[in-house]
Amino acid sequence: MSAVLDPHGHVAGEHGHDDHAHGHPHGWRRWVYATNHKDIGTLYLLFSFTMFMVGGVLALLIRAELFEPGLQIVNPQLFNQLTTMHGLIMVFGAIMPAFVGFANWMIPMQIGAADMAFARMNNLSFWLLIPAALMLVSSFFMPGGAPAAGWTLYAPLTLQMGPSMDAGIFAMHILGASSIMGSINIIVTILNMRAPGMTLMKMPMFCWTWLITAYLLIAVMPVLAGAITMTLTDRHFGTSFFTPAGGGDPVMYQHIFWFFGHPEVYIMILPAFGIISHIVPAFARKRLFGYTSMVYATSSIAILSFIVWAHHMFTTGMPVTGQLFFMYATMLIAVPTGVKVFNWIATMWRGSMSFETPMLFAVGFIFVFTMGGFTGLILSVAPVDIQLQDTYYVVAHFHYVLVAGSLYAMFAGFYYWAPKWTGVMYNETRGKIHFWASLIFFNVTFFPMHFLGLAGMPRRYADYPMQFTDFNMLASIGAFGFGLSQVYFFFFVALPCMRGKGAPAPQKPWEAAEGLEWELPSPAPFHTFETPPKLNASATKILA
Amino acid sequence: MSRFDVNFETETTMMKMMKSLGQKVGQLSLTLGALLATSAALAVNDLPGGPAVNQLDLHPPVTKIAHEQQWLHNFMMILCIVIFVAVFGVMFYSVFKHRKSKGHKASNFHESVKVEIAWTIVPFIIVIFMALPATKTIVAMKDTSAADLTIKATGIQWKWGYDYLKGEGEGIGFVSTLDVNQRALSDSGKPAGDDYLLKVDNPLVVPVNKKVRVITTANDVIHAFMVPSFGIKQDAIPGFVRDTWFRAEKTGDFYGQCAELCGKEHAYMPIHVKVVSAEDYTKWVDGKKKEAAAKADDPNKVWVQADLIARGGKVYSANCAACHQPNGKGGGPIKPLDGSPVVQDADKGKQIHVVLTGQNNGAMPSWKQLSDTEIAAVITYTKNNWSNKTGQTVQPTDVAAARK
């Protein structure tokens, strides 16, 4: 069976595979006891989309409050809770698990493996997310409300928070444990379970980017765990890591947090680079221009991501040498990122392109993500950052790279691979409506924020001077449009696919798509590659 | 130097262009807003020194650093736009020309070490070219030496405390909070006024064309002292001091807001700096001094112990309790006062000396900026509080004698 949520286990246009012979559990047991990478992938994707909707509702509450100056809907305390939880839920509940969902579905199919290396750990790493998410969301109903210290949880403000802060910290620990397990699973699967003949340098780009991401996760999730554990002991056990009264240093928290936080940014974008690197060649009908340089560029970005963290802290008052070092290192990241963009464009150059929805999202990604990249470059210049730090310019910047970056890439990936997952083609017109609506509303929402930031409107403000009204109204209107576009996506694109409604998908819906996943029937059978396939020289096709 | 002069012209014309553009965009979005049946007819004007209506660029700079920041921003932005247009010109050319629907056949070229090296080296050189002018500004920004006036800005949930530490006006100190009516306006949901959320009771007053060093610290959580027109933003960190500086080239009112999330009322602790001429500044200082003198204690008064202890309790919670704790036990490297041999010592001079000069390389700072009466009161308080029952009384005259 595939990802189709059909209680009877049948799909229109079955290719005649009878997977029931293996006696896997049905009904709720199929999901709770899931050890199949495809089922777990589906669970991850559904979970992350749910969290994306929850985080989206919080974002719309924020935008509704900011529609005009003055307080109309929420009080400032609740406002801070909304911004904090929007950030935490989107980062840890939506984007990260969604990419793990893609990894679960695609990595075994792309490398010709039967499943993930540790099937039961895979189950655990998914099901840990549920209590963590429940705890995070329920913190709104705890005494004093949800954590309100910003998603970065800066000390010593965290020390003033109510009991929900502890719930939040515990939830983050669980999410971190889940991420680490997922990463170990991915690394072991990729390194040990590739089909014979698929050397590392023949591996699909998505596997490469996830391999690197998984190492980043293992390196930095424990650092986050350390930072929030120190916060916890400061709160309850009389330590003073971050309390100046006891000789602690609040800025140390920021160093530790951003040592996690900056690689985290790349954790959220590298798999997106991988997805785009599959889609652009498939729709340009031309090979990826520089596979090797893409691998090297991804690795360089990952390595550089460890030495740039303090550019988030230019206003803390670093010494000159510190500011210079972190400015130079940050600017350096533009080089490998540029290499990736140039490679995608060179792949498109003199191709034979067609623009189905996956390609639209991929081109949209390259275009809008690069705008976020350029504002990042502007922010890396420390004297300019002094003006823009903690203003809406930063908010615009990171939404350009996270929404137009990570999220668009995931939509591109969904449209690209959903036929394989569900066995039906999505509705192309609806896909295009979803793309154009998302693109337009995204820019209406976030482009004016650049101006607000330049004019000095600080972020995380429940109320603002009258001069900022028009751009805030515009942003709020765009935000509601963007939110509705995603609801449209769920009900009119994703749900019909999951129900198996639509034209049956051919084995390879995209004529120039390459990779082992397209050697499998659509929908992909419940078990695939139970015996290692024999591959051709480029490791993209199975030899009969 | 000349670079900034040359660019100044273009900057101003650019700013004008942007402003008119901003008004057009603003009108458009205002119409949109009206269409969506918003209640307010939001009549608002530009606030000189604060935000302009639908401002599209950084604030008009009034310090050299802010000029340089604006130049750097324009320089970066123009460079980025040129690269963006070039790169995406190529991409969109390809998108429109190399389509399957137009019958374009795919070529099959890939992997070129030469090309890869080229598009690694060229951006690398561009990045170096971008970093060079920024370096100079960073060094200038960080040079807080030789200040004419030093002011400490203390972030307090949710207001700013200003203390003039050195230079003309030394000794002046006051707290600056948001105008109370404005907080009520915010709650009402129907605000008005060009200086909405930016109006304070006591603005920070500084002289024009003088180098003002701002030392930032905080009492509770991290705040950030920001004045966009001066190009400064410096976190105010509890338990630590950081500094920044500005030399305002124009008189007038300049506004900023707290720029680091500091809790519930984060949006309600604005910064208002009034830059005045040297003469006006002297007049203001004299006024403040007279005001302070009227309120000040007579340093020769002989106090009864109970009054001193009561006064000392207040001084203690305002200045000492953050480190030594309200219970006098200290914590970590902070020494306890409760049971301290120095505090209990029969020789009052020992504690007076520590309070006036500090100890342990400034871990215990010097408190000589407090008045004789305040120091006498706080010492008397610590000598007769918790388990310290010395019965000693320190009079302001004792402190005055020790200062010599």
What is the rounded distance in angstroms from the CA atom of residue B40 to the CA atom of residue A442?
26
Count of Cβ atoms closer than 10 Å to residue B309 Cβ? 20
Closest CA–CA distance from residue A238 to any residue of chain B (Å): 10
- What is the pLDDT confidence band of residue B38, given thresholds at 50, 70 and 90? very low
Residue of A nearest to B197 (CA): A465
Reported residue count of chain B is 404
What is the rounded distance in angstroms from the CA atom of residue B234 to the CA atom of residue A247?
22
Return left, alpha or beta for A193; rule: phi > 0 is left, psi -120 to 50 is alpha, else beta.
Answer: alpha
What is the rounded distance in angstroms from the CA atom of residue A244 to the CA atom of residue A254?
14
pLDDT at B298: 77
Residue B258, token pair as written in the block? 């707290």
Helix axes B372-383, B396-403, angle to 10 degrees: 120
- pLDDT higher than 90, residue B291: no
**Quick one: which of A159, A157, A166 has its CA closest to A135?**
A166
Coil, strand or helix at B252? strand
For the question of an ipTM over 0.95, the answer is no
pLDDT at B304: 87
- B47–A366: do the CB atoms touch at under 8 Å? no
Determine contact: B266 vs chain A, CB below 8 A.
Answer: yes
* Share of residues in chain A with pLDDT > 70 (%): 96
Best of A386, A392, A461 to substitute, by most chain B Cβ atoms within 10 angstroms, is A386
Catalytic annotation on A31? no
- A315–B83: do the CB atoms touch at under 8 Å? no
Residue of B nearest to A459 (CA): B259
Best of B78, B142, B271 to substitute, by most chain A Cβ atoms within 10 angstroms, is B142
Give the pLDDT mean for A66-89.
95
Distance in Å from the first CA to the final CA of chain A: 24
- A456–B244: do the CB atoms touch at under 8 Å? no
pLDDT at A206: 97
Catalytic annotation on A459? yes
Question: What is chain B's mean pLDDT, rounded?
Answer: 87
Q: Chain A contacts of B116, Cβ < 8 Å? A: 290, 293, 339
- A334–B105: do the CB atoms touch at under 8 Å? no
Residue A535 forms beta bridges with which residues?
A542
Q: Chain A contacts of B83, Cβ < 8 Å? A: 374
- What is the pLDDT confidence band of residue B29, given thresholds at 50, 70 and 90? low
- What is the pLDDT confidence band of residue B25, given thresholds at 50, 70 and 90? low
The pTM of this model reads 0.84
What is the rounded distance in angstroms from the CA atom of residue B57 to the CA atom of residue B4?
17
Q: Chain B contacts of A332, Cβ < 8 Å? A: 124, 127
Q: At which residue do the structure tokens 């929030």 appear?
A: A228
Residue of B nearest to A77 (CA): B264
Residue B243 forms beta bridges with which residues?
B215
Picking from B25, B119, B243, the nearest residue to A339 by CB comes out as B119
Burial class of residue B80 in the structure, from the number of CB atoms within 10 Å of its CB (0-12 exposed, 13-18 middle, 19+ buried): buried
- The answer to whether A100 and A182 have CB atoms below 8 angstroms apart is yes
Q: Is the peptide bond before A523 cis (omega within 30 degrees of 0)?
A: yes
DSSP-assigned letters across all residues of A169-193: HHHHHHHHHHHHHHHHHHHHHHHH-
Catalytic annotation on A262? yes
Kindly report the backbone phi and psi dihedral angles of residue A317, in degrees, each rounded to the nearest multiple of 5, phi listed first: 95, 50
What is the rounded distance in angstroms from the CA atom of residue A353 to the CA atom of residue B235?
50
Which run of H or of E encompasses B216?
strand B212-218
**Quick one: which of B404, B385, B402 has its CA closest to B308?**
B385
Residue B178 forms beta bridges with which residues?
B200
Catalytic residue among A31, A44, A105, A151: A151
- What is the pLDDT confidence band of residue A23, given thresholds at 50, 70 and 90? low
Catalytic annotation on A264? yes
- The answer to whether A466 and B191 have CB atoms below 8 angstroms apart is yes
Residue of A nearest to B237 (CA): A250
Digit-coded pLDDT (tens) for A376-403? 999 999 999 999 999 999 999 999 999 9
Q: Chain B contacts of A512, Cβ < 8 Å? A: 106
Give the pLDDT mean for A9-26.
52
Q: At which residue do the structure tokens 């561009």 appear?
A: B126
Catalytic annotation on A400? no
Determine contact: A349 vs chain B, CB below 8 A.
Answer: yes
Would you tell me which residues 256-295 of chain A have a C-beta closer than 8 angstroms to some C-beta of chain B?
Answer: 284-293
- A156–B222: do the CB atoms touch at under 8 Å? yes
- A156–B238: do the CB atoms touch at under 8 Å? yes
Give the pLDDT mean for B61-76.
96
Catalytic annotation on A517? no
- pLDDT higher than 60, residue A10: no
pLDDT at A353: 95
Q: CA B306 → CA A115, A259, B310, B311, B342, distances in Å? A: 80, 53, 6, 9, 21
- The answer to whether B222 and B262 have CB atoms below 8 angstroms apart is yes
**Quick one: which of B205, B219, B124, B147 has its CA closest to B172?**
B205
**Quick one: which of B190, B179, B226, B231 has its CA closest to B72?**
B231
Catalytic residue among A37, A38, A86, A420: A86
Catalytic annotation on A179? yes
Contacts of B6 (CB under 8 A, 6+ apart): none
What is the rounded distance in angstroms from the CA atom of residue B296 to the CA atom of residue B291?
9
Q: A70-95 in b/e burial notation, b at 16+ Cβ within 10 A?
A: bbeebebbbbbbbbbbbbbbbbbbbb
Residue of B nearest to A291 (CA): B111
- pLDDT higher than 80, residue A519: yes
Catalytic annotation on A65? no
Distance in Å from the first CA to the final CA of chain B: 48
Output Rg (C-alpha) for chain B, integer angstroms: 29
What is the rounded distance in angstroms from the CA atom of residue B164 to the CA atom of residue B151?
4
Catalytic residue among A311, A397, A399, A450: A311
